[in-house]
Structure 1
Amino acid sequence: MPTRWAVKWDHEVAVQRHFRRITSRNQVINRWLLVTLVVVTSPFARGDEPPAMRVLQTDNGTRFGVFGERMKRPAPTFFVFATSVDDMARLGVYSQTGRELARHGWLYVTLDPPCHGRDAKKGEPAALSGWAHRVKNGEDLVGPFTKRCRDVLDWLIAKKYTDPDRIAAGGTSRGGFCALHFAAAEPRVKAIACISPVTNPLALREFAGLKKEQTARIDAGSLADKLAGRPIWMSIGNHDQRVGTNDCIATSRKLAAASRKNNPNAVSPVELIVAPSKGHTAIDHAYTLAARFIADAFSNDRLSLSFSVVESGQMTMGENNQGGFDEKPAHPVRISRSFAITSRVITNSEYERFDPGHRKWRGVTRISKDDDDPAVYVSWHDAVAFCRWLGHKEGVPYRLPTEAEWEFARRSQPKLFEHDGAAVENWCLDGYGPYAAGSVTDPTGFPASPIRVTRGGPWKSTDNLPHVTNRLGNVPGDRNRVVGIRVVLGHLPQSSKSAVLPTRRWQRDVVQKRHAWKAPVPANQPWFAEPIPFAKIPPKLDGGPLFTKHNHCPGIAWCPNGDLLAVWYTTIEEWGREHAIAASRLRQGRDAWDEADLFWDVPDRNDHTPTIWSDHKGTLFHFNGMAVEGGWHDLAMLFRKSDDNGATWTKPRIIAPKHGFGNMPISSTFRRADGTICVPCDAVPGANGGSILHISKDNGKNWLLPSRGKPAPRFSMGKSGARMAGIHAAVDQWTDGSIVAVGRGDAINGRMPLSISRDGGLSWTYSASPFPPIAGGQRAALRRLRENVLMLVSFTKGSTFTSDTGTEFEGQGMFAALSEDGGKTWPIRKLLTDGKRRALDGHAWTDRFIMDATHAEPKGYLAATQTPDGIIHLISSGIHYRFNLAWLRLANRAP
């Protein structure tokens, strides 16, 4: 484990903070100092009134003050230096603190600093002027002092007062200087806490006129090698001219560097907190933080995180010439404040201090098994809670990095990300959204976004996304194997610009008045409209987030206002990480779909696949799979709802959180007669293996998977099992309560498989349908129409159809079949063409084809809905068909 560098920064904040001079601040010392130290001690007898400070003397005559009695067991001991022993006894702050520590089993010990109390020499200046006097005259300022301290410590240990394994030292201002020198001379001091310490005596006005070589031996930076390996905590105000803020910072760097050099694998936390101050004052909560630091040092419960400071500055964020569309435009970004970021991701052992239950995720899919492996399977909410817990524990503002901070740190300190942390995505604080042109200071993303940014990665993954500007994201509730945590120390800056998500085409100008549905013709009059394209990709969106190359796998739903809304995936490659969901709206009364726009995307994760469904009561449901990376073999499933005709959607909720098989929704959602919502999903990522149902009995609040834990069935005639036969199942409920399904693959006797359930989808019985099997690039649709007729739409390479003249002909492509007995018989079959010759573009695997009297669309993934006016809307991968039941009953025109 690397040495803990680090400088911790507590940045300036906009709110006015109130500070007191150290002397007055001490008088109201925070009770956290008293309470926190209790946790590191065992129970001790407590009297009603702890004794006042006693002044004792060692066998060698060294005088010291102590609060606390000799206990049955040696006690933890805190050496505190500030002023003389006699003043420490008189000043309320010290006597109060000493009494409380004694009450809780601690010894509180103090000695006269050099030139204070009994150490002052006759004829020399007192206090700090005396320090300068001795140094100027070549006297040893600190040697006699540390010798006295060691004499006291030896005496306390010999008399069984002090536990030799639990010794700390601390002090304010000059007392901090004394504590550092005592610890450097005495390795039994295990931890040091200094508030506004003197580190470079030349910063003191009393040392004016002295030279560096005269103070070199007592400069705190010279103690670095002797202090290497021990926890050291310091705090100072950002404008402390009395002892020198910059000198304190320089000393902390030397201390940390020495620890690293001494033993690169040792945990040696060196922490410096710089915060707003007025002159020589204690920073806000300094005593709380110091107490927590000392308590943690002895509690064996401290997280020894390694931080690296990133100085403020500017960068060009994003990339115009390579990478994804969302990395554009490159734009100037200013990071106005320095911050500290962990030099690696949080490990399993560190995260499990916060959440011991996380251990169950170790080794899942053979990922992240050991203590020092990155902690993965943590959600954004988990990560935020971890930062909050850690901040409360240590009393400092921990949080996730903003996306801009992450990229700035990656650009300015690339080596920081070279080791294990470079291979794990890191949660960022920001909501994901598009970059805007123009400069911005401290951007913090899109608060309203349903996606949270991740950066970096991948770790032991299947893909390679190395460049610094690459943007990723995830649903904040998701846990997966490639996303972990880096922590930032620092207050969140206020951005110079507020970010608002763009309004998409399908969201704009959506009428909210309920539509009065009226069919274009009487129900008994056949009606077929000209097929129209719906997946219209605007040229300026091609290349991301939408793509013209591959648009496929649609869903369709009607809206209460009379509109139709279609969704589908758009990508370059089906397994690609660029995979996103597009949408388009056919507005009521129009005959052309709007141009498409982005509907849903988890950036750089495959979004196989979407479905959209109207519950016929005014609510639209959107279901979608979400991969860990690329492909569709490890999906989780989420859903959203809309109550305003699809103009806005709820935040996504993950309803199948375990990434794996069985979470790729199919556009065949239906509601059982008892109100249960049923969402079919492929059970497997391959060509055979069946489909399953996710069900909700409470309108989407809770979800069940009846097939969970049940064996994969054997799909053969008369057999039964927990899955529907065939992937991409087309399914609906019949009037008698039975559920009918067909699918692709898992053929039975060379025919498309038919599955029937009579227990609400818990179990299925298999048989061969009368229809030919379908294959790649094809998906059937099955809907129970309002007229209580089952409509199946599928494909054939060549089947016999009867024309309106009674003659038979061979037709190819998409056809419809009707059943009025729940799928037992299918007396009506019709090739889905009006006989007119036309050239159409079916997109995806269909491409361009000719539709005529004997040829319908040869391929496509189908989805269908029937609007309240009785019109059936069927979409393939690229074409929208409209007709009514009377037209389906009408035989094809003779070729």
Structure 2
Amino acid sequence: MFQVKRTVRGFTVGLSVLMLATRALSQTPADTPPLKPATGANPGEHTTIKLPGGVSLELVWIPAGTFLMGQRDGEQDAYPNKETPQHPVTLSSGYWMGKFEVTKEQWKAVMGTAPWEGRPSAGEDLKTPANYVDWSSAAAFAEALTKVAGVNFRLPTEAEWEYACRAGTTTRFYWGDDPTYDAIDGHAWWRGNAANTELKCPRSVGQKPPNPWGLCDMSGNVSEWCQDWHSFYFGGPATDPAGPAIASHRVLRGGSWITIGGQCRSSRRYHEEPLMARSDIGFRVTSGNPVVRQPGVPEIVDVFVAGSEGVNTYRIPSMLLAPDGTLLAFCEARKESQDDASPTDMVLRRSVDGGRSWLPTQVLVHGIGNEALMNPCAVVDRATNTVLLACMKANKIGPNRNQHFLLLSQDNGQTWSEPMDIGDRIANYNDSFVPGPGVGIQMQSGRLVIPGYAGTPDEVLEENFYSRVLYSDDHGQNWTLGAPVPQFSDESQAVELRDGSLMLNVRGNMGMSCRGVAISENGGETWSRFYWDRALKECPCEASLIRYGCDEKDGKNALLFANPDNSGECYGILERTKMTVRASFDEGKTWPVKRLLHPGPSSYSTMVRLPDGDIGILFEGGEKHRREWIRFARFSMAWLADQG
């Protein structure tokens, strides 16, 4: 059952929604074939489906092909964060698409209902688009139409929609660039000729000329639901893309009778909650091959391998996505032994293809003599597009031995500043502070947060340390060490919750065999609550925690957590095993989804959400012991949710 809980700004995606999304993006019975392909390869061939009551539905053939999806560089009225990068997309098979948006007349013939009745600006003419229809209702119409017609119907994917809208053109609109909007009145119903008139509603379909492939009202009139969950574009070539496995908003395309002209462009993307139903939202249907986003097996590649490049052991990974989409993987290169105090370099590898391959290793800081460069913890400042890497230098493990450094990159990790000692720029400075390791976050307020732990100058034993965060409100120029959490703990990771509070997930060294959680209402300055989360079992070890999401507006639908889940086996057994990923849909209160990634020895990890909606995890592990390699794995939310 599709169940959704509403919130003030969006909705929470529950497990039932996630499981629904993983079955297949098609909403129609798998054994129902699509309408037979057109006899020719050219676009524009028409056919008609007869509906009850003498109503018909006209379809246009769209052939297979390749096109550039998204906006051109510098396109007028563009939304760069939503419509870039432009990238080649191939649709491997043709499909039929509704010549018009589904009308009220067609809706009533198939569904027997009228959800628009009594609603403002709905439009009275039965030839106007069916509106006040949310995404699930549009998908239900396609399923009902399949049963009526005996052939498979579904909503178009976003790629199918833009390909059909462009109809072989590369301009802003399918009728040209129209920089001054002189021609838009003749091709689309938009704010200028619909909303700003006495008749404030969608217009009857087909009054404007069709695009070059015979489709009407692809720009304006009503925005049209697509099958996909919304996500950022990944950028590389794609074949039959179907969007991410799960997100919190669905895609809308085409602009509407209430939007400005620039929002009717061929590349313009919208996203709304699936429950949204308004006068300016409708849909059209397609009949083609079923679209299935396969869960797939995680892709796993070596990034750092013990014994390579003259390094004894690679440890303590940190990973983030640079502003341009480059993956940055940091770690310690322990040159002589596995020990924490081994002479250590801080190293980096970059990936420009989503982690499938990695550029050669860069040494960011050389550890000289007996120095250990430790605990990388990276964060991105979105306001300045700067990557900051926090780390520390230790000549000997323990308090009163640490210097704290910051390295900066303003070109997505290609080059870096010299290490800057920031000890004199930290308020409440404590030289026992240990950053991360893992990743920091930037809160919606702009505050940069580096999680970690510290003791007091006279506390030597590690079990007397307390988790806390280092934070900056001026883009890393100055820092403050926050108050300790109220329980013994150490390595930690942070996320911002929906209500703006900060959650710190901490490693516990008190024999609790589970993770600790601290909540701060003031961004890590003090802590209002602490509890032990017994659902997150652990053999004490650093874990990774991120918020999975699509963008700042709609990406707050899940928390992901990963650690070696050999709970109940750790005390008396030194080895950590069973790298496991979990998902929570209620801000960490419960963790209903759990999937084993690597059954063997494993240890520290760090995660990131990739631009295409997949998840990347950089983790330590091996076949015989946990320090053989650091590998990168990418997997989909569909794989994570597949509990079968």
TM-score (norm 1): 0.34
Identify the structure with bigger relative contact order (alpha carbons < 8 Å, sequence gap 6+): 2
Please tell me whether Structure 1 or Structure 2 has the larger radius of gyration of its CA atoms: 1
Kindly indicate which of the two structures has a greater share of residues assigned to strand.
2
Which is richer in helix? 1
